[in-house]
Amino acid sequence: MRVRFTALLAALALALSVSTAWAQSQTGQIFGKVTDESGAILPGVTVTLSGPVLLQPLTASTSETGTFQFPRLEVGTYKVKFELPGFKTIIKEGIQVSVGFSANVSAQMAVSTVQETVTVTGESPIVDTKETGTKSTFTVEQLQSIPSARDPWVILQQTAGIAMDRENIGGNMSGQQSNFVSRGASPGNTKWSVDGIDTTDMAATGASPTYYDFDAFQEMTINTGGVDVSQQTGGVGVMLVTKSGSDRFRGSTRFYETNDRFESNNITDDMRRQGASSGNPIQDIKDYGIEMGGPIRKGRAWVWGSFGKNDINVGVVNFYKPTPECQAFKSSAVALGTPIKDVNQCLNPDNTLLQTTNLKGEVQLFKGNKLSVFNSMSKKERNARGADDLHPIETTQRQRAVSPNFGTKWWLTGPSPTYKFGDQWVLTDRLLMDVDYAHVGNNFILDFHEDALSDVQPALIVSTGLNLRSASQSVFLRPVNSVNYNGNYFLPATLGADHALKFGAYWRDAYSESIGHTGGFASARFPNQAAFDTDTCATGLAAGCAASLTRDSHTAYRLTNIAAFVQDTITHQRLTFQLGVRYDMNHDEALAATIPASGLMPDLLPAVSFPGVDPGITFKDISPRLGVTYDLQGDGRTVARVNYARYYGQVGTGGVAGQVNPLTGVTVRYPWVDINGDRFVQANEVQPASGNFANFQALSGNWDPANPSSPKTANTNDPDLKNDSTDEVIAGVAREIGRGFAVDAAYIWRRYDNFSSSFTLRSDGSFVSSGDYIPVQYTPQTSACPVAGARCDAVTAYYPSFQLGGITRQINTPNFHRSYNGFEVNARRRMQNHWMMNTSVSYNSIIQHYGDGSYQNPNNIAVRNGFQYDYATSGSGIGNVFVNARWLFKLSGLYQLPYAFNVSAFYNARQGYPFEAAVVVNNPITLADGRTVTALPNGGGNPTIILDPIGENRLPNYQNLDLHVERPISFGSTRIVPAVDVFNVTNNNTIQALRGTQNATNANNIQAIVAPRVLRFGVRVSW
């Protein structure tokens, strides 16, 4: 892999030459105004800020308007002291600062002829008078005491308005990161950051590049809308803040275990008859680790570190060991005759090992200057990624870190590394700047379950989706280097108001390299199980069998992102304006690489040596942000707000250049006759229509049958291609209804536009249109619909009126957009008087709008246009889930009982997700002209036709309750907290996914259900 050292050195030189700043830094601020008892402003008051997260106290003087500001404070609890000769000194303690929170700590000072101090506690504000968006903050107290599976994704599950693609019961889903949707936004626009480092995976945009030690977190903040200029996208912003050292040596260790000895069964006989012959139990989960930190030199240098390991072993519905005895349980009749406990003993363990280390250091170089260093190493190993009822063990993949043969260990390969070097400089009490450099060495390999499977062709049963024999291998290297520069400047009493300026610049170099191989260079496609069992593919073309021929992939991309932004927060009495603008430049290119010829059909899929290409397209986006808040009563307890924002999409590596890269993975499908009867594809058995390999049934990848070895592709990008955009308006009001108790209500409107897609071209270079497709009526044969209750309705499918070519152009999809309307109410109460609470209710509607020219293939447009948008999960270890919930309700809280017992709970409910019942247009198909075909002509293939408008047919509503009980025991400065968690208290068995193909033997079979009730025992020791 080639790394652009010159660019990296230039960026580092720039970072060292400017002296500081912050880009999506995970900090908050304290501000306020000081007056005397008559309300007259007091300039020149000395304001001193101290707290355990500060190496040294900070000081400021109030301006001529009596105002002050401490920007970019780390998460923690602070003390603010106000001093002025002739007045009583005031100390305000227990001021809590979280990510993005602006704490208004104003003071009214009384005249005094003697030295006197007044200390005020318990008045930390809970309403942010400058907040224009929507977010949820989870403190370390909530993270540790509210029952959860202890990873960031289950905290996202607790966040208002966010719908997850899986339900994690006690950690049964913690081996793979979840997908999630908020307000209909693309998950690809999610932003992940750790201690201010943007760590988002730029190849799988929106994903986290790594896994985490949960006990390393001090706080998590989830932004869902109205974000300021420091975030490019309108997606969810996941901001993770790790712990740090202090002037006192402190730490904690823990051990948790969840085991099937303390687990119930939630599978009924009816569910077993519906295909869930087994449950999906937790077999054993162990979560343990330690974190500690303290002073190297008090007030000057701190250090902190952590180590965590999570060993997860779970069962998956109908994912059995490969022995004949266990495979027999795939039959519901056999499974029904055996106790469920014995059936579950036959489940093949899906094992994931997560291991993370963190190290952080901070040192005060000189007054006002702080240097920080952070490192994280994250390792993941999994034995059967993709395990489910349609992927037996040999078709799953092993996941692990990439070998050092592909690059330097601890930098490009090995446990995924993260490094950050930062410097912060407080130049005056009004000017603060900092700079940081970060490297994220994301890498992993998805390998064959066994090395010998590299030469074995996979097989697919088309009607049921069952995979057989083998799979594929993929190697991923995704290092990212970035430099961030940010500053804050406080300018009071200017143009009739106080101005708090935030400005910054950002440079990011993202590289991604992917190498892929499919076993045996082909996949054999059998129309149904009987065709595989009896090998009807050997009888001739009428059997409807097909061969998907593959060529290896080897792509390398470099994406450069340069951004700059400025925002002015203008405060005049009760009114605050936030005016901001952001500029982003994104440019990606495809780099040189070589792929070998197909080992099966080298003439059709020959070797290619690619010199690389610059697509010549650069996105230059300007994003305005405008927010207004008004303190309705002047006491900071009731605040109305409105916000407008324009966001642009997160461009991934290959997002543009991938369109013109000939080395993407190629899969091309043709009719196949198994002449020798071995159920494997040989070159002489592939039989394209009329003997012409340009007459394929289906094609994916950048491949031209007329010039298959060309070092460049005939595909193009529209030179006027634009980045996708999101417009958002939020209007809301927040009200503190009691001490530490606030309620917030907001209406949200969004419009998603400028999506891009690859449109197929005719031979003359014009676009294929929907008018070029011919309708055909299709009714599945009775023999193809053996399941009682299956809906084998007649459907209308479409196929091209001429043979499609493989040449495409990426354009902005004309006349297509999504519209969102939603309403959220949140209530939160800090821990006071023995209890705390966090609750939310959300209503969502996200509609898709297809206009003229917005599609080419009319299949399924009628059930999508004007109906709900349901995000279809793919990858990340799960599929066949369509995320869309019109309503969601979430409630968590803790109560301190007598005798020091703490009881907490999390209740989660939502509407059931859409169920896409469908018919696959499969062999035999009768066309309007009387011909009978096995697949729709001219590249029409075997489409899946959805039967109902999206959102009108849904799975059952979901609800779940988890409980947590703990009893802290203290010995001096040591605190021991034994705890018991009960997940899925009611032992509900809500169906999470069904097999939707109706003309199949597994129609409406249960694919996934909620895991059963289980207990977790744990102990945490802190000192």
What does the pLDDT look like over 494-520, one tens digit per residue? 999 999 999 999 999 999 999 999 999
Residue 1005 vs residue 10, higher pLDDT = 1005
How confident is the model at residue 762, as a pLDDT?
94
For residues 465 and 996, what is the distance between their CA atoms, to the nearest angstrom?
Answer: 10
> What mean pLDDT is reported for the chain?
93
Q: pLDDT band at 638, cuts 50/70/90? A: very high
Q: Is 314 strand, coil or helix?
A: strand
Residue found by looking up tokens 């290297």 in the block: 477
Please give the DSSP secondary-structure letter assigned to residue 153.
H
User: Which amino acid is it at 990?
Assistant: T
How confident is the model at residue 21, as a pLDDT?
33
- Partner residues linked to 169 by β-bridges: none
Dump pLDDT digits (tens) for 363-413.
998 888 999 999 999 999 999 999 999 999 999 999 999 999 999 999 999
| 107-109 and 944-946 strand pairing | unpaired
How confident is the model at residue 116, as a pLDDT?
80
For residues 330 and 161, what is the distance between their CA atoms, to the nearest angstrom?
Answer: 38
Structure tokens at 798: 């479409």
Determine the length of the chain. 1023
How confident is the model at residue 25, as a pLDDT?
58
Q: In the predicted model, is pLDDT for residue 992 greater than 60?
A: yes
Closest CA relative to residue 207, chosen from 167, 173, 235: 235
Q: No. of H helices and E strands in the chain? A: 9, 61
Q: Are the C-beta atoms of residues 518 and 547 closer than 8 Å to each other?
A: no
How confident is the model at residue 332, as a pLDDT?
83
Please give the DSSP secondary-structure letter assigned to residue 452.
G
Please list the alpha-helical segments (H only) found in 629-753.
Answer: none
Q: Is 384 strand, coil or helix?
A: strand
Structure tokens at 954: 């849904």
Structure tokens at 733: 């009001």
Q: In the predicted model, is pLDDT for residue 19 greater than 60?
A: no
Q: What is the pTM of this model?
A: 0.92
For residues 631 and 32, what is the distance between their CA atoms, to the nearest angstrom?
Answer: 14
User: Residue by residue, what is the 3-state secondary structure of 558-601?
Assistant: EEEEEEEEEEEEEEECCEEEEEEEEEEEEEEEECCEEECCCCCC
What's the mean pLDDT in 991-996? 94
CA atoms within 13 A on the CB side of 731: 2
| 107-109 and 28-36 strand pairing | parallel
Q: Are the C-beta atoms of residues 770 and 857 closer than 8 Å to each other?
A: yes
User: Residue by residue, what is the 3-state secondary structure of 711-738?
Assistant: CCCCCEECCCCCCCEEEEEEEEEEEEEE
**In the chain, what percentage of residues exceed pLDDT 70?**
97
DSSP-derived secondary structure for 394-445: GGSEEEEPPPGGGS-BTTTBSSEEEEEEEEEEE-SSSEEEEEEEEEEEEEEE
- For the stretch 837-862, what's the b/e string if a residue is b when 16 or more beta carbons lie within 10 angstroms of its beta carbon? ebbbbbbbebbbbbeeebbbbbbbee
How confident is the model at residue 877, as a pLDDT?
59
Q: In what helix (H) or strand (E) does residue 89 lie, and over which residues does it extend?
A: strand 89-97
Structure tokens at 396: 């799953």
For residues 320 and 19, what is the distance between their CA atoms, to the nearest angstrom?
Answer: 59
Dump pLDDT digits (tens) for 279-312.
889 999 999 999 999 999 999 999 999 999 999 9
Q: Are the C-beta atoms of residues 904 and 515 closer than 8 Å to each other?
A: no
Q: Burial of 495 by CB count in 10 Å (0-12 exposed, 13-18 middle, 19+ buried)?
A: exposed
Structure tokens at 663: 């080395």
Q: In what helix (H) or strand (E) does residue 847 lie, and over which residues does it extend?
A: strand 835-850
For residues 184 and 224, what is the distance between their CA atoms, to the nearest angstrom?
Answer: 11
Q: In what helix (H) or strand (E) does residue 498 lie, and over which residues does it extend?
A: strand 497-518
Q: In the predicted model, is pLDDT for residue 13 greater than 60?
A: no
Domain architecture of the chain: domains with CATH:
14-120 (2.60.40.1120), 134-1022 (2.40.170.20)
User: Which amino acid is it at 331?
Assistant: S
**Percent helix / strand / coil, the chain, rounded to 5:** 10, 50, 40
Strand order of the β-sheet with 716-717 is 716-717, 808-812, 756-760
Q: Are the C-beta atoms of residues 672 and 537 closer than 8 Å to each other?
A: yes
Residue 1013 vs residue 923, higher pLDDT = 1013
Q: In the predicted model, is pLDDT for residue 776 greater than 90?
A: yes
What's the mean pLDDT in 722-750? 96
Q: pLDDT band at 879, cuts 50/70/90? A: confident
Q: pLDDT band at 167, cuts 50/70/90? A: very high
Q: How many CB atoms lie within 10 A of CB 424?
A: 22
- Partner residues linked to 176 by β-bridges: none
